[in-house]
């Protein structure tokens, strides 16, 4: 099997360009693309660019009890607020809004037994800070 990396990179760049165009009217947006271990790349980027807040998505399963490995690394190694968002809005009025993937199951709302949301950040010494 042959995978054309150039085509895949073009798809990623197109997705970044689309996201930047859609968000440009709402906030100051700059997109970056890095190669390497995703979790470590995010941690390095946050440290190098003095990022105030991080917003990440849930694991591909969309299940609130399944924080992905990339998000887990970020929660464990940064001292900034990390917001983890579900792939589908929890409010019925937003389900089916533009950008939602059809057919994706709604994530569960309960954390894993014995864990509380944000425990990884607190254990890593993370604490909420004011944004600049």
pLDDT digits (tens, 9 = 90+) for 10-67: 887 888 788 778 888 888 877 777 888 999 999 999 999 989 899 887 776 656 667 8
d(CA 100, CA 52): 27
> In terms of pLDDT, which residue wins out, 129 or 80?
80
Is residue 17 domain-shared with residue 82, that is, in the same domain? Answer: no
Its pTM surpasses 0.75? no
Q: Is 85 helix (H, G, I), strand (E, B) or coil?
A: strand
Q: Encoding tokens for residue 78?
A: 């940064």
Is residue 53 domain-shared with residue 4, that is, in the same domain? Answer: no
Tell me what pLDDT residue 129 has: 46
- Domain total in the chain: 2
Q: Which residue has the tokens 């937003």?
A: 94
Q: Which domain holds residue 132?
A: 36-96+103-132
Q: What percent of the chain has pLDDT over 90?
A: 17
Is residue 18 domain-shared with residue 72, that is, in the same domain? Answer: no
d(CA 21, CA 17): 6
Give the Å distances, CA to CA, from 22 to 25, 62, 81.
Answer: 7, 23, 24
Tell me what pLDDT residue 21 has: 84
Tell me what pLDDT residue 47 has: 94
């Amino acid at each position: 099997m042959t995978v054309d990396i150039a085509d895949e990179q073009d798809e990623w760049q197109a997705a970044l360009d689309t996201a930047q165009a859609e968000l440009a009217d709402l906030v100051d947006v700059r997109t970056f693309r890095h190669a390497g271990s995703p979790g470590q790349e995010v941690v390095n980027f946050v440290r190098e660019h003095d990022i105030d807040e991080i917003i990440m998505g849930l694991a591909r399963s969309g299940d609130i009890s399944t924080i992905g490995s990339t998000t887990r690394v970020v929660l464990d190694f940064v001292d900034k607020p990390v917001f983890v968002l579900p792939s589908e809005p929890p409010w019925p009025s937003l389900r089916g809004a533009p950008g939602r993937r059809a057919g994706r199951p709604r994530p569960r709302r309960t954390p894993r037994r014995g864990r509380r949301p944000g425990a990884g950040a607190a254990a890593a010494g993370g604490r909420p800070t004011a944004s600049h």
